[in-house]
Every structure is written in C-alpha cells, then in structure tokens.
Amino acid sequence: MNFSDLYPTKEEASAYAIPYESYYALGKRGIIYDIDNTLVEHGAPANEKSIELFRKLKYIGFKTVLLSNNRDERVKPFADAVDSMYIFKAGKPSKKGYMEAMKLMGTTPETTLFVGDQIFTDVWGANRCGIETILTRPIDPKEEIQIVLKRRLEWFVLKSYRKKMREGK
C-alpha cells in the first residue's frame, strides 16, 4: 500500500517549535495554517502565544492565511486577533482553498508552507497542490469522535512514513 500522497514533508512537535527563519532563508514567503488543535485547542480563541507567533512571522516577512473548514463565526475572530487573512468553509482537502490562500498571499507552491495537525484534511490537501507540509502534534488529545476515528487511520500512515524516514527514503 502506498501512503506517500498523505506523507507530510516534515513533522514538528508544535507550530511554535518550527524554525521559521530557516524557511524564510530557503525562499518561503507565505504560510497557510490550520487553526484548531494546530494553533490552539479546538474551538479556543487566539491566545497570547498565537498572537505573538503571528507578530514574529510578520516581522520575519511572512504573509499568512488561516485555512479552516469551520464557519466564519469561528475563523474571523481568530484571524482578527492574530492579524491574518483567512478562508472559512475551505472544504479541505479540496485544492480550492489552498489555491485561494496562495492567491491571497501572492505566493506559489514553491514559496508556500502549510502547517496543520491532520493528515486526511490538512496534509493531503496541501500535498495535492505541491505545497511543503509540516504536520504538528495535536495540542489537545480530547477531540470530536469523527476526528478520533481519523486519528486511528492516521496512525497507519504515520507508521509507514516514519519507517521510510528511518530508512532514509
């Protein structure tokens, strides 16, 4: 079985542990983020940590877009708090939202980075657009049942991915 379409480019413990300056030095200019369980707990408002991260990203020179399958009432207040562009009801893993996000930032797949916590929506959608992906660990282990079920399937993909990484493939 080939899971490679679902593999992230890289894994990080958290969106807050990514060496963003290094990615900027490599030519990345835009970052697309998932919100829930990537930047804050599911449904939580922006906190000081997320606001400070987006300040830092702007200082480095990045443009950002929040890409969420959630409704405007959830996404807009978060986007306003971190001062980022956003797309709600994105339909991830459909390519449409990712393409729209790059258009908003004026970036290409080569100059864009995606950061999210789910393989079957976040990573797969970005991979389908040729965007480099960083998979983060979920912030909060308590999740809705449909996400819990997806996490069990993700385990198989991650097992295969990590084996290939160990083998240097």
CATH at residue 109: 3.40.50.1000
- Provide the residue range defining the domain that includes 84: 4-166
Which run of H or E residues covers position 116?
strand 112-116
Q: What tokens does 114 get?
A: 């995606």
In contact, 115 and 134? CB cutoff 8 Å: yes
pTM above 0.95, yes or no: no
75-91: average pLDDT: 98
Q: Answer yes or no: is pLDDT of 120 > 50.
A: yes
Q: Answer yes or no: is pLDDT of 1 > 50.
A: no
Structural domain tally of the chain?
1
> What pLDDT sits at residue 145?
61
Lowest mean pLDDT among 86-95, 98-107, 140-149: 140-149
- pLDDT tens sequence across 131-141: 999 999 999 77
